[in-house]
């Protein structure tokens, strides 16, 4: 099976390396010509995935159109705020992409203003091509290095080709499951980033195991409450893309969202982190989207509400902690 992966950030590069390792044909598309030329020469993406070699069999390009001519599957891996422009850039090329049967999104986050998930944006901008989402508890560098892991390929259109893609993307180091709960998989992939910021704030405040365990447990309960109200299935939130990814993103040292929260709690400003340090933190913008959704639907989400108050309203983290601990007592269920 032939895959086009774009753009060549950390996740795009890691997925290309994984697919090549298990015998698939892969084209990796860079945004910039000079970055593509450098990667083709040194066989490494030193800006986003340094130290991990890119095999000679992976075609490196800065132009998507030629790679789409032969692609069976297009994998999109850009930050959520760039997804709609990326789709509009691709759209004119699809007329010649006669073999393309599926677009797979690895994008995690909601779109500002519309609060749409990634596959909804792709369906709007690139109608006519089936869409799926791939999500799960995986860090890019560990997938690239072949560390064993698992993920979920979700689509609301369970075609035989989806199962072919499942088989084509699975190997000894990455096991792919399928799901028909597309909205649930995308919601879990977005929500867990918000709660990872809270976990990082716990770390930054010096809180220890008891605090983190309580936060993660109640965050999962909140994810289930919000996500099922928005159409996700409860079992999805207890699976790989829900509970699994929540545990990874809230505890892993490679988690950008957790790191963002830790530095924020230590006194580094949001502006410093997002602009000067140029951190890509999906949970920051996604928090505002879900806050608006919960307000509109009158959903109880106290942890998310306090995260929003800290990030957008200047509330002191210690005060936010006191607000959560001082809430009215109730039964767990």
The residues annotated as belonging to the active site are 192
Task: Count the neighbouring beta carbons within 10 Å of the beta carbon of residue 304.
Answer: 24
The maximal CA–CA distance of the chain, rounded, in angstroms, is: 62
How far apart CA 256 and CA 284 sit, in angstroms, is: 11
Residue 55 DSSP symbol: P
Residue 23 DSSP symbol: T
Nearest CA to 121 among 130, 111, 113? Answer: 111
How far apart CA 8 and CA 76 sit, in angstroms, is: 10
How far apart CA 98 and CA 106 sit, in angstroms, is: 23
How far apart CA 25 and CA 263 sit, in angstroms, is: 40
Q: Output the CA–CA distances (angstroms, integers) from residue 154 to 261, 277, 306, in the order listed.
A: 29, 33, 31
Helix (H, G, I), strand (E, B) or coil at 88: helix
Taking each helix axis as running N to C, give the angle between helix 209-229 and helix 302-313, from 0 to 180 degrees, rounded to the nearest 10: 100
Query: Which tokens in the block code for residue 27?
Result: 């084209």
Nearest CA to 307 among 186, 206, 200? Answer: 200
How far apart CA 34 and CA 16 sit, in angstroms, is: 19
Residues 182 and 233 sit within 8 Å (Cβ to Cβ): no
Q: Output the CA–CA distances (angstroms, integers) from residue 187 to 97, 158, 216, 224, in the order listed.
A: 30, 19, 17, 10
Residues sharing a CB contact under 8 Å with residue 198, sequence separation 6 or more, in sequence order: 215, 219, 250, 261, 303, 306, 307
């Amino acid at each position: 099976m032939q895959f086009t992966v774009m753009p060549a950030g950390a996740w795009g590069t890691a997925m290309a390396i994984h697919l090549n390792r298990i015998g698939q044909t892969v084209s990796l598309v860079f945004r910039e010509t000079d970055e593509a030329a450098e990667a083709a020469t040194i066989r490494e993406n030193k800006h986003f995935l340094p130290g991990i070699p890119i095999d000679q069999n992976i075609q490196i390009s800065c132009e998507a159109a030629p790679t789409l001519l032969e692609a069976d599957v297009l994998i999109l891996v850009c930050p959520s705020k760039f997804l709609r422009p990326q789709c509009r850039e691709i759209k004119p090329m699809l007329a010649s992409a006669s073999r393309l049967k599926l677009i797979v999104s690895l994008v995690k986050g909601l779109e500002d203003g519309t609060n749409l998930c990634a596959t909804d944006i792709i369906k709007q901008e690139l109608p006519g091509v089936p869409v799926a989402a791939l999500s799960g508890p995986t860090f890019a560098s560990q997938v690239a290095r072949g560390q064993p892991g698992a993920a979920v390929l979700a689509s609301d259109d369970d075609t035989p080709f989806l199962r072919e893609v499942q088989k084509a993307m699975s190997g000894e180091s990455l096991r792919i499951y399928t799901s028909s709960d597309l909205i649930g998989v995308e919601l879990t992939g977005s929500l867990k980033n918000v709660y990872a910021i809270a976990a990082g704030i716990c770390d930054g405040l010096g809180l220890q195991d008891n605090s983190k365990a309580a936060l993660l447990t109640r965050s999962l309960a909140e994810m289930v409450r919000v996500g099922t109200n928005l159409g996700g299935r409860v079992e999805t939130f207890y699976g790989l893309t829900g509970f699994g990814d929540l545990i990874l993103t809230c505890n892993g040292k490679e988690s950008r969202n957790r790191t963002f929260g830790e530095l924020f709690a230590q006194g580094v400003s949001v502006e410093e982190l997002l602009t000067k340090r140029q951190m890509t933190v999906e949970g920051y913008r996604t928090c505002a989207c879900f806050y608006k959704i919960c307000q509109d639907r009158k959903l109880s989400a106290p942890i998310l509400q306090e995260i929003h108050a800290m990030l957008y309203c200047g509330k002191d983290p210690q005060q936010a902690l006191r607000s959560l601990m001082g809430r009215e007592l109730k039964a767990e269920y």
